[in-house]
Structure 1
Amino acid sequence: MSANQPVDRNAGKRKRQRACDRCRRKKRRCDGGEICDHCVKVNLVCTYVEPATARYLGHIDNPSEFLDESVTAYVESLTVQFETAQTSLKRLEARRADPPLYARAVRNLVTPFTPPHPDDSGFIDLADSFGALSLDGAPPDPGFQGNSSAAMLVKAAVDVKTGGHLESHRRHRMPPAPRPWVMKSWEAYAPTPPHNFAFPDDHLMGSLVSLYFSNVNTFVPMLQRPMFEECLQRGVHMHDTGFGTILLLVCALGSLYLTDTGISKRDREILAWKWYNQIELCGHLLRRQPTLRDIQAYCLAAHFLTCISNPRFAWAIVGFGIRLAQDVGSHRRKAREPTITAYEELEKRAFWTLFFFDVQLSGALGRAAVLDPVDMTLTLPCDCDDEFWQLSPAGPGSQPPGTTPVTAFFISLINLYRIVHFTLRSLYPVQKLDFQSRLLRVLSAVAAELDTALNQWFSNLPPHLIWDPDRPVSLFFDQSAALHCFYYYTRILIHRAFIPELYAITPPNPLALDICTEAARECIQVADVHRRRQPNGNPLPFSQSPIFTAAMMLIIAERIHAAHPESSDTTDDLALIYTSISILRAQQERWPSSEYFITVLEGLISSDDDSLPDIHDLGPATHPDTGTHTTAMCEPAERVAIPIFPAFVGDEEILPGRVRRPLAI
């Protein structure tokens, strides 16, 4: 043997039938000796203690002797783990194919309403089930009771006992029992006596009613004109307090649109309050069951206060009205048949009106809305104009082919404000820190879904509601202008939360400011075209918040760009800010509540130091929008207080600090 030949340490020893543990893990060729060559080479301990894999079992004469019970259990455990992992992977792949929950929720906003589930109508039978507990007739209506209520347990007990059928002979055999649902003598108030209402004379009343239906009900068709006028001709208001209240509120709203020669803004306002101050709200609930006319009264009162007074008052009235409507189940579909009665249709329209005002006022005040649409099972109102309704209890008819429904505006408005409601809930929550710390990563995706839903809503607008500034002035011209102002206002709400300079919690989007600024310009331009082409000077319905928000976005954008003069030219935006003030000042003739928005915008413009001139310090220059001349000269001032203007009547201005203004030159 040569001296250079390696020594075989395994010579004469029995070789293993498998590779050593280390070679098997590394998938190397192994000689299978007691100490394999590779382990000798790297000076490692060579072991054969790890169990062999199944592929070696075929080479063993008796595998059952080779694999002990622990190895078998180990293999079975690995098999179960593999199957579990495979099942979980399939579930994850299935979930990845479906859109996230927030995406499905947003997309449902622009899809047709699904019919309510049959189980949702269980509350309709509730009064009948309570009737089985009565000896001499059904007790008073217990109001709406949801599935989690104790009343539903009573209904279930009655259904189980009677099989769902109330048999008269069983009812008579029931033993006498106390009737706790009947009010005690000291709880029940005496019936409210009819109010001694002072109505307008017949000529003025006819004018005010006509103005209401022409300027208000055509946008929010809460009342059905033929039915209303039929009750008016029969003199129902002289003995029915509910209808008398509705009539006074109609007259109050109609007074805002009087155009008689010689009547001033102050006269209109005094006349409107004369009718409104006679009504009594929030005081009847303990005396009697709320009715449809009660709910309609809250709708009209909220509309009146929005135009003439303060959003806080209107917001409170809307909240109380929604609670009353929920008490009688107006938020749930009551009909079992495809057709509904006229009463049910009017009840549905009244509730959607409350929903609209609730969302609008909550957004303007930064408060949570009372009702979430997911808690409602109502379908959209019937798309049929008043003149095609039937006066019988059969309910509304159908719009004749070839005619354009006026109510399409109200339906489009409801669908748009469902998007607004979801925007306020998702991007402007009350508990912002807690909410966004958990969902910060998906907020941008939520905004993208909302933007897509808004685009889909826009693409589904009926042709007669598409904005065309050159179309003839008509009701559809007014409706399309109002809808497009709402549309741009909604786009601002969606993207405003992502402006880096405004909100530090949301993920910033450098394009958010440009999107909001462009939408603000479009909103003001639409309102300006409407104002210039409207011959009677009537304001654009519900446009106060959109116009004010648009003007505020332009002021904010101007101040942000002031730090970067090369980034943008704000000369045109300055003219649009003055245009928005002019629009609101024109609206003030009909809607006194616009004065607040005018005061705030003028104050913010006046507080700027060099980018925007003081609206009162223009000197003899021409106003950028109206073309009028002012004679007030600029007076030097070292310092001026910048107030935070009060949002509510009776509040005081907050003076957070003082800033230096440059001396006039």
Structure 2
Amino acid sequence: MLLNLSYHARSLERQVSRWRQAAQGFSTLGYPTAEASLNNLSYSNSDDESDATGSDCNLSDNGTVEHHLAGSFKDIRLITGDTDPFQRHYGKTSNMMMIKTAVKIKKEILGDQLQLPSTESQWGENMLRRREFWDIRPWQFELEEHKSFTFPENDLLCELVTDYFTYCQPYIPLLHRPTFERSVAEGLHLRNSNFGIVLLCVCAIASRFSRDPRNSVDGKGPEHSLGWPWYKQTLPLKTSFLEPPTLYDLQACCLSAVYLMGTSASDSMWTILGLGIRIAQDMGLHRKKKRRPEGLTTWRTVESELCTRAFWMLLNFDVMVSISFGRPRATTNEDFDLELPMECDDEYWDSPNPEQPTGVPSRICFFVHFCKLMEILGLAQRAIYPINKSRSTKYLGAGWEQNAVIEIDSALNQWSSSLPEYLRWDPSRPDGLFFRQSSALITFYYWTQMQVHGRFLRELPGKNGYTLPMPSSPNMIICANAARCCVRVIELQRRHQFKLPAFFLAPVFSTAIILLLCSWTKRKTESASNINKEMQEVNCCLDVMSINEKL
């Protein structure tokens, strides 16, 4: 990661030098020096690995949104500089490929029209490369190793810990609150550097839900630097692998991935998740516990249960990020047989045989069912997005993709039926923790449907490299229904002003793309009122993403 950043820094220095020379040249000739004209992007084709030459695309203020998008996504792997040897690869399952498909369909339907309706212009402008979210920020280059940590002041530290357990723990139950808060009160972070890193990561994540200026760079930096003063001290996460890994190393990888998910360096979390999974396998956490102490129905200790939660969290994020980026996973379902986390809330762990009281709904039940859902999505990734299709055809026979989709749909139906009543989606339920957890589960359920059936919308072979998907095709209908159902849940989340971790934006983005595809493919058959309704739903997704830009 550090080597990657060093190459990127050198590339930026060369670009700055070229920009200054260009600016001087333009000034001498009397031309305006628009900064947008210097924003060059280079890509290489992810569909065909043999075509890696790429093409340059200038994004200036002139021209149409479609021209910008079509040029930007002509090829798909981002290159950060002219001579930078490192490239970001985005495969066929990635959101980039779905956007690329959408741009092609838009051009097929509307051609190279010069003007867009206002709602679509807003969408197009938001899809353009916005520097504050794409570019590595200056403060993110501060990666020196810290010999001693600087923690938030006591009042801010207490606030951030409370915010973490309020807004993040219900969805990513990585920590045991009584144990964690007791360790902080005893000052363990001042004596144990590994625990100190975990605490700093917690503070970094919780900073997104705080408006205290002390969480920003220099106490007054831009809002997008929230949490960076705490997170930068955790890098590099693991400097030595000579000592056996610990639970804290595992938790630091999970928390680091959660924080990076909301930054311009989100690609790095894919690497960190792979590191975390390797650490977990080194600890033997991927294997089921074979021995059970006599007389105990539950033999898990606090530490062993936290290890189980951390491993499942790494697995879940690995599936989500690999699907979103179109990259291979660090491990698969065949490589582990670890039990699911125990459905017992933190306050009942004091006894030697912890158990959730009968009739008391468990907050951790959300995470257990989320793990099961991500298992289904992981199976879908392997079944219908194989890199080497010749092997799949050889061993599974003709029609294996359709059969796999049928099996996955059946598994999704069984998963939905297995949810307890308090986690089933009911829009009329009063606002509360289980209402918010159920809304998160149902959005990811629809997101999984869109990922499974959207596979047949990303690949559109034809004489021009693609064919237009029919609005009446089964896969388009399923994706459209899932997107419309999802946007209704998203609208309720917006109305109730939910504060959720950054990874909950994944269904929002996919929903917007699917709705755009539906709108553009219906241009020749549907009325303008129906199309405008879908664009209003797209704008709802945009509003949610806009609200979360500040987090």
* TM-score of the two chains, using structure 1 as the length reference: 0.56
1:443 is matched with: 401
Aligned counterpart in structure 1 of residue 371 of structure 2, from 403, 411, 414: 414
3-state secondary structure, aligned to 2:374:
helix
> Residue in 1 aligned with 2:303?
343
Contact persistence 1:194–1:240 (CA under 8 A) = no
Partner Cα separation in structure 1 for residue 460 and residue 304 of structure 2: 45
1:474 to 412, 432, 453: 432
Matched, 1:532 2:484: no
CA deviation profile, 1:337-359 (whole Å, cap 9, x unmatched): 05122211111110001001100
Hey, what does 2:544 align to over in structure 1? 583
**What one-letter code is carried by the residue in structure 2 that aligns with 1:582?**
D
Instruction: Tell me the CA shift for residue 403 of structure 1.
Output: 1.2
Match of 1:247 among 199, 203, 211: 199
Equivalence map 1:349-368=2 (5 Å): 349-368=309-328
Counterpart residue number, 1:236: 188
Task: Look up the match of 1:326.
Answer: 281
Q: Displacement of 1:500 after TM fit?
A: 9.0
Partner of residue 379 from structure 1, selected from 328, 339, 345: 339
Question: Which runs of structure 2 are paired with 1:423-442 in the superposition (5 Å)?
Answer: 423-432=380-389, 435-436=392-393, 439-442=397-400
Sequence identity percentage: 36
On the 8 A contact 2:393/2:400 being kept in 1, the answer is no
Q: Deviations over 1:169-225 (max 9, x none)?
A: xxxxxxxxxxxxxxxxxxxxxxxx993100111111000000011111111111000
Deviation per CA, 1:28-85, whole angstroms, max 9, x where unpaired?
A: xxxxxxxxxxxxxxxxxxxxxxxxxxxxxxxxxxxxxxxxxxxxxxxxxxxxxxxxxx
Matches within 5 A, 1:170-209: 195-209=147-161
Structure 1 residues 445 and 566 mapped into 2: Cα distance closer, same or farther (>3 Å)?
farther
In 1: Cα distance, 2:549 partner to 2:236 partner: 26
Cα displacement (A) at 1:441? 1.2
The corresponding residue for 1:465 is 423
Structure 1 pair 210–503 and aligned structure 2 pair: CA distance change class (3 A): farther
**Structure 1 residue 307: Cα displacement:** 2.1
Q: How many Å apart are 1:564 and its aligned residue?
A: 4.1
Question: Which segment is superposed worse, 260-269 or 432-441?
Answer: 260-269
Corresponding position of 2:9: none
Give distance in 2, aligned partners of 1:266 and 1:215: 24
Matched, 1:401 2:369: no
Q: 1:503 to 1:433 in 2, by over 3 A?
A: farther
* Cα offsets for 1:429-488 (capped at 9, x unmatched): 122465357644121121111111101101111111111222221111211111010010
Matches within 5 A, 1:628-643: none
Matches within 5 A, 1:204-283: 204-259=156-211, 269-283=224-238
SS in 2 for 1:309: coil
Residues 230-259 of structure 1: per-residue CA shift (max 9 Å, x gap) = 111111111101111111011111111115
- Would the alpha carbon gap of residues 302 and 268 (structure 1) be closer, same or farther in structure 2, given more than 3 Å must change? same
Q: Which residue of 2 aligns with 1:301?
A: 256
Equivalent pair of 2:167/2:500 in contact (CA under 8 Å): no
Distance in 2, matches of 1:261 and 1:242, equals 26
Q: Which amino acid aligns with 1:442?
A: W
CA distance in 2, matches of 1:197, 1:513: 52
The code of the aligned residue for 1:373 comes to N
One-letter amino acid matched to 1:475: L
Task: Pick closer, same or farther for the CA change 1:427–1:467 going to 2, 3 Å.
Answer: same
Q: Is the 8 A contact 1:282 1:320 kept in 2?
A: no
Larger of the two Rg values belongs to structure: 1
- 1:203 maps to amino acid: D
Partner residue, 2:520: 559
Deviations 1:508-556 (A, max 9, x none): 992110110110111111011111112xx52476321111111111112
Contact 1:524 1:550 in 2 (8 A): yes
The structure with more helix, counted as a fraction of residues: 2
Which whole-Å CA distance do the structure 2 matches of 1:567 and 1:514 have between them? 19
Structure 1: distance between partners of 2:283 and 2:450:
36
Cα distance in 1 for residues equivalent to 2:237 and 2:332 = 23
Change (3 A) 1:479 1:561: same
Whether the 8 Å contact between 2:168 and 2:500 is mirrored in structure 1 is no
Report the secondary structure of 2:239's partner residue: coil
1:429, 1:412 → 2: CA distance?
Answer: 26
Match of 1:523 in 2: 486
1:556 to 1:230, Cα distance in 2 relative to 1, 3 A: same
Is the partner of 1:543 in helix, strand or coil? helix
Distance 1:260 1:427 in 2: 46
Structure 1 578/475 Cα, relative in aligned 2: closer, same or farther at 3 Å?
same
Q: Distance in 1 between matches of 2:371 and 2:526?
A: 41
1:113-167: per-residue Cα shift (whole Å, max 9, x none)?
Answer: xxxxxxxxxxxxxxxxxxxxxxxxxxxxxxxxxxxxxxxxxxxxxxxxxxxxxxx
Contact 2:273 2:314 in 1 (8 A): yes
Decide whether the 8 Å contact of 1:194 with 1:241 is kept in 2: no
CA displacement at 1:325 relative to structure 2 = 1.0
Of 505, 514, 520 in structure 1, the residue corresponding to residue 477 of structure 2 is: 514
1:388 corresponds in structure 2 to: 348
Distance, in Å, in 2 between the alignment partners of 1:520 and 1:540 is 21
Question: What does residue 90 of structure 2 align with?
Answer: none
For the 8 Å contact 2:333–2:379, the answer to whether it is kept is no
The one-letter amino acid of 2:452's match is I
Q: 1:469 to 1:249 in 2, by over 3 A?
A: same
Structure 2 counterpart of 1:481, one-letter code? S
Q: What amino acid does structure 1 have at the position aligned with 2:175?
A: L
Does the Cα contact within 8 Å between 2:319 and 2:329 map onto a contact in 1? yes
Q: 1:283 deviation in Å?
A: 3.6
1:284 positional shift: 3.2
Which AA in structure 2 matches 1:455? N
Report the residue type matching 1:417 in the other structure: M
Q: Distance in 2 between matches of 1:281 and 1:336?
A: 36
Question: Structure 2 CA distance, aligned partners of 1:544 and 1:500?
Answer: 20
Residue identity matched to 1:245: I
Residues 240 and 556 of structure 1, relative CA distance in 2, 3 Å threshold: same
Distance of 2:210 and 2:419 partners within structure 1: 32
Deviation readout 1:541-580 (Å, 9 max, x if unpaired): 6321111111111112222223445799422111111111
CA offset at residue 374 of structure 1?
A: 1.7
Give the structure 2 partner of residue 292 of structure 1.
247
Preserved CA contact (<8 Å) 1:482 1:541: no
Cα deviation digits, residues 372-427 of structure 1 (max 9, x gap): 1121111110101111111x7x4x61111221110010001000000100111111
Deviates more, 1:306-315 or 1:235-244: 306-315
Native 8 Å contact 1:531 1:539 kept in 2: no
Q: Retained in 2: the 8 A contact 1:482–1:540?
A: no
Report the counterpart of residue 173 of structure 1 in structure 2.
Answer: none
